[in-house]
Amino acid sequence: MGNKVVKFGGSSLADANQIKKAAAIIKAEECRRYVVPSAPGKRFSDDIKVTDMLYKCCELAGSGVDFSDDFQLIKDRYNGIIADLGVDMSLDEEFDIIVKELKARPAKDYAASRGEFLNGKVLAKYLGYNFVDAADVIVFDTKGMLLLDETVKAVRSRLKGLDNAVIPGFYGRTTEGVIKTFSRGGSDVTGSIIANAVNADIYENWTDVSGFLVADPRIVENPDAIETITYRELRELAYMGASVLHEDAIFPVRSAGIPINIRNTNRPEDKGTMIVSNDYDFSRESLGHTITGIAGKKGFSTINIEKAMMNNEIGFGMKVLNVLYNNGISFEHMPSGIDTMSITVDSAKLEPVREKVLAEIRREVAPDHLEIEDGIAILAVVGRRMKNTRGTVARVFAAMAHARINVKLIDQGSSELNVIIGVSENDLPEAIRRIYDMFINSEK
């Protein structure tokens, strides 16, 4: 029997009804042996997440204000879930310990972690699974950095001989015994670590969407889901602002070569998105679209420099980049011509030192012309198949030309995994729609 680690997000466990759906998914396959739950999320758009309710109690406790009314809401939420699930259990003892601890030491990480802790207890009871406190197995150093090797050892020794377990996400404990939470992508990170430790066949990440989408659904209507994506493609899209799993949540499984499957709790019949290693054998895959995804990001400026005979000046580029370095600015892209050079930077970082940077570039390289163009958006067209498909870049530009969108920048890496283009911020949504049409709708 193989084993799968399954992680459920907050919306998937927001109330008893959602927990029943999650339990049905877990029980549907015997190999779903290790479960990582989040705290209950929002049940409706104006609802408050349990974690936020706990933060509030912690804040009030820190100010010495009575928080019993606020804590009662948390109790009601869990007691309501327990009653609706029909499980015979009480969390009163846990509630008392939390209140006592918050009064004595109102620590934010401790407060935040209790949502997952309590939900884990409820889910373990409902499933009839063993409960393993993440504080016993997820190890941080005193600065709050995860100690992966120690954690993997602790998980393996704790799970030895257990057929199944519920391990709450989001938190662990430092070597000094203090409860600590992950800064970003909390429960996703825990799921990934457990998958690594038990050497899972697959790490299933259950959420409220059927995998990743080719483009932002706020820009493109009903975009297709991505069936398979490599870690490298994912990184390119995430860097361009596509809200995907956080890098910290990917590393433990990526290093172990374990695929991640993003699935939808409310539509378990959907295949979702498979995230696979870069050397995955795609020959078995049915041929999909040329591109994997499109993502864009606003808020860039381009520093345009022109100087006759620039290419003969040794160290020209270095001097310019040195100015940026000395002002603490990193650059995104740097296409250049014989007598021209354009450097794309983050507008917010440039703003405080804008005049200083211009003055220093003038002093260092004495350009014939120097200007900064603001309001630039960068768009990435990402896809492992582009390398073996002729005319991909031509099609991107044809799409832009038909829409009368002026392309201000183009950059393509040697890996040919992506094409980057810069357009005016106002043109970004239309550019994404046109590229989607060109590569997805026209290939159907």
Question: Looking at the domain assignment, is residue 259 inside a domain?
Answer: no
3-state SS, residue 146: strand
How confident is the model over 43-56, as a mean pLDDT?
Answer: 93
Residue pLDDT, tens place only, 138-166 = 999 999 899 999 999 999 999 999 999 99
139 and 42 belong to one structural domain: yes
27 and 175 belong to one structural domain: yes
pLDDT of residue 283 exceeding 70: no
Contacts of residue 41, Cβ cutoff 8 Å, sequence gap at least 6: 9, 10, 11, 12, 13, 14, 49, 50
- Position with higher pLDDT, 332 vs 245: 332
Expressed as residue numbers, the domain containing 39 is 4-208
67 and 198 belong to one structural domain: yes
| Average predicted confidence (pLDDT) for the chain | 91
Q: Which two tokens stand for residue 163?
A: 């057929």
**Strand 165-166's sheet: what is its strand order?**
165-166, 32-37, 4-8, 202-207, 260-264, 273-276, 228-230
Find the helix or strand (DSSP H, E) in which 296 lies.
Answer: strand 293-306
Contacts of residue 286, Cβ cutoff 8 Å, sequence gap at least 6: none
CATH number of the domain bearing residue 152: 3.40.1160.10
Question: Which of 154, 175, 208 is the last residue before a domain boundary?
Answer: 208
Residue 169 confidence (pLDDT) = 94
CB 29 within 8 A of CB 204: no
44 and 168 belong to one structural domain: yes
b/e code 51-60 from CB counts within 10 Å (16+ = b): bebbebbbeb
Question: Looking at the domain assignment, is residue 255 inside a domain?
Answer: no
Residue 29 confidence (pLDDT) = 94
pLDDT of residue 43 exceeding 80: yes
Confidence of residue 235 (pLDDT cuts 50, 70, 90): confident
- Position with higher pLDDT, 236 vs 86: 86
Question: Looking at the domain assignment, is residue 230 inside a domain?
Answer: no
Split into its structural domains, the chain has a count of: 2
CATH number of the domain bearing residue 422: 3.30.2130.10
